[in-house]
Homo-oligomer: A and B are copies of this chain.
Amino acid sequence: MQKQRVLILGAGFGGMFTARHLARHSDLFDVEIIDEENYFVFQPLLPEVVAGTIEASDAVAPLRRLLPNSIKVREAQVVGIDLERREIEVVQGMGRKLRKIGYDQLVIAMGSRVDLSRFPGLADHAFTMKDLSDAFALRNHLVDCLEQADITEEPELKRRLLTFAVIGGGLSGVEVLGEMEHMLSSALRFYPHIRREELRFALIEYAPTILAEMPENLSAYALRRLQKRGVEIYTGQGVKSASSDTVELSDGRLIHGMTIIATIGNSPPPLLAELPIAKQRGRIATDHCLRVPGQDGVWALGDAAAVPAEPPPADSRPHRRADDPKVEVPPPTAAPPTAQAARQQAKVLAANLVAQARGEPMTPFHYRSKGQLASLGGQRGIANILGVNISGFPAFFLWRLLYLGMLPGAATKTRVAVDWLLGLFLRRNLVKVVQRMEPAIFQSHYREGDVVFREGDACGPFFIVMAGRFERKSRGADTIEIIERGGVFGESALKGEKTRQSTVTALENGCCLVIKRDDFALLSKGWQVLAPRMEAEWRRTAEAEELTQRESVPAQQNRR
């Protein structure tokens, strides 16, 4: 029997655990998992990364360590899903190569994104809490606020530096606020010019209560704890707009603070919107067995999917054969978009994949909540485990124990346990970890014969030739174009094309100014308003430069 080729899109709780469960069935499947990062992110620990309670790298684990070598890991960005041809399209590597990959079975586990576009200014000014880089960015920003507040001589600036607003009073918002408050308060011993009363925290929630998903007495406990620690709670309030140092509430009140954290706006990846399949609020509607109705060999789970939380009622048959063509309408109650649910779904999905390969009956998914936990920072927590409510230090302790158990891989478990242990004795690390990213605009040098990009590569940055000569050639056209100083190439990306339409090669040693695609798009927006007014200015500087060029740098001598 030929092995089935299984492609898993996304390596979150849903995708990663599906791959793990399938690892034992290498007789049936060739499994490949595709994600933009080469690591699994343990999202519930991100607030602790912000607080510095654990090391950033302990909230993540390399996929290749979590999965055996029999499962192929591809670090790439999924840019297209073609259900008709049964293939997906990815962009991979620094060269932005475009690749098509076929499948027999497709598992869509692409999670959710943050979309704040409904709130003017919020996307440009709020920190989010989705992945490791978010946690890092926020942590560095918080340390920066303390450093600046400690030395500034302007009272109003100090107030804004020390005001922290969290938007969203769900689990994620409450945890990040709790950890942040505890971290900042305990850091003050190192900042002699900041008093605790100067720190201001605001929690903004649209619903009438925070932690609506928890039992009432627990959310009331959390509310009391946070208020006792001086947190201002604004319930029943949406966000009207945000700027770099202000949040405007729906009733018009303003909160002036330079730290805005949004834990709202979760929405499915944009790529899914284009797929011709049924959705429930943007999430892929699956049947009870996690199959996508009407699409043979397509499955979905996790945050990207709306999976019925309970099996079909007893009067229909609970087990159905894989070849049963009947597509049933999913009931309205889907399992919640949590790690817990995704993990349970992964187990059932993997079992059903095996069942279909063997022609055995499938199992419907049944969500069973094991309870909910929230850490409030300062060694306090709330928990509802198997119906029992616990709060305070015992809940915090339980939280740590249970999460330790859920961490994948012994190495990560050990490191986190050690971090927590050390944390009891050692002080928190208040270091900012600034990492240099590849810059948006940079110079790149080429040697004679170097290929800058090839026809068919995915579109990438835009190039301005500063020195040297480059040749542009495309298969379709007969002509070869020579591009010299002042010339540009790579502009096709802006015309909405997906791939490079030509191949560009350096004819001699040269140098280009490279502007990344997204930045160039943003810049273009700027030009479009700027150009009419600035043309004269450009012309003047251009002439001045042309003169300087001729006088000082004999760059033109390079030309043949």
Binding site for B on A (CB under 8 A): 37-39, 55-57, 60-62, 64-65, 69, 72-76, 92-95, 97, 120-121, 124-125, 132-134, 136-137, 140, 143-144, 147-148, 150-152, 157, 189-192, 241-246, 248, 254, 258, 410-411, 414-415, 418, 422, 425-427, 429-437, 439-447, 450, 464-466, 485-488, 509, 511, 513, 515, 519, 522-535, 538-539, 541-542, 544-546
Contacts and interface: CB of A to CB of B under 8 A. Distances in A.
A530 B435 contact: no
A75 to B, nearest CB: 4
Nearest to A463: B526
Contacts of A539: 531-532, 535
A545 to B, nearest CB: 4
A529 to B, nearest CB: 4
A177 to B, nearest CB: 21
Contacts of A527: 538, 541-542
B124 A442 contact: yes
A136 B464 contact: no
A414 B415 CA distance: 14
A121 B467 CA distance: 12
Nearest to A544: B528
B542 A528 contact: yes
Secondary structure call for the A interface? mixed
> Interface centre among A144, A513, A530, A535, by most B CB within 10 Å?
A530
Contacts of A60: 431, 433
Nearest to A242: B445
Nearest to A529: B486
A392 B542 CA distance: 60
Contacts of A442: 124, 522
B522 A545 contact: no
Nearest to A244: B444
A93 B148 contact: yes
28 contacts: A61-B431, A65-B430, A73-B150, A74-B151, A93-B151, A93-B157, A94-B148, A97-B152, A121-B511, A124-B445, A132-B435, A133-B433, A136-B436, A137-B435, A140-B435, A418-B418, A434-B435, A435-B435, A435-B437, A437-B437, A440-B519, A441-B522, A466-B526, A513-B526, A515-B523, A528-B542, A528-B546, A531-B541
Given A132-B433, A136-B433, 7 more contacts: A57-B429, A62-B431, A64-B191, A133-B436, A243-B450, A415-B422, A513-B525
A151 B64 contact: no
A67 to B, nearest CB: 9
Given A241-B509, A440-B519, A465 B529 contact: yes
Contacts of A254: 447
A61 to B, nearest CB: 7
Contact of A466 (B57, B191, B525): B525
A102 to B, nearest CB: 15
A447 B531 contact: no
A488 B533 CA distance: 9
A415 B511 CA distance: 45
B538 A432 contact: no
Contacts of A72: 151
A430 B64 contact: yes
Nearest to A122: B445
A279 B74 CA distance: 54
A45 to B, nearest CB: 13
Nearest to A464: B526
Contacts of A533: 486-488
Nearest to A542: B531
Most buried by B among A515, A528, A539: A528
A231 B433 CA distance: 32
Nearest to A125: B445
A62 B148 contact: no
Q: Which of A133, A143, A487, A531 neighbours the largest number of chain B CB atoms within 10 Å of its CB?
A: A531
A436 B73 CA distance: 24
B445 A120 contact: yes
Contact of A538 (B62, B157, B535): B535
Given A136-B436, A430-B65, A436-B136, A545 B519 contact: no
A425 B532 CA distance: 64
B243 A445 contact: yes
Nearest to A437: B437
A153 B364 CA distance: 40
A519 B513 CA distance: 11
Contacts of A245: 450
Contacts of A258: 94
B530 A486 contact: yes
A242 B332 CA distance: 61
B535 A535 contact: yes
A65 B441 contact: no
A93 B433 contact: no
Contacts of A486: 529-530, 532-533
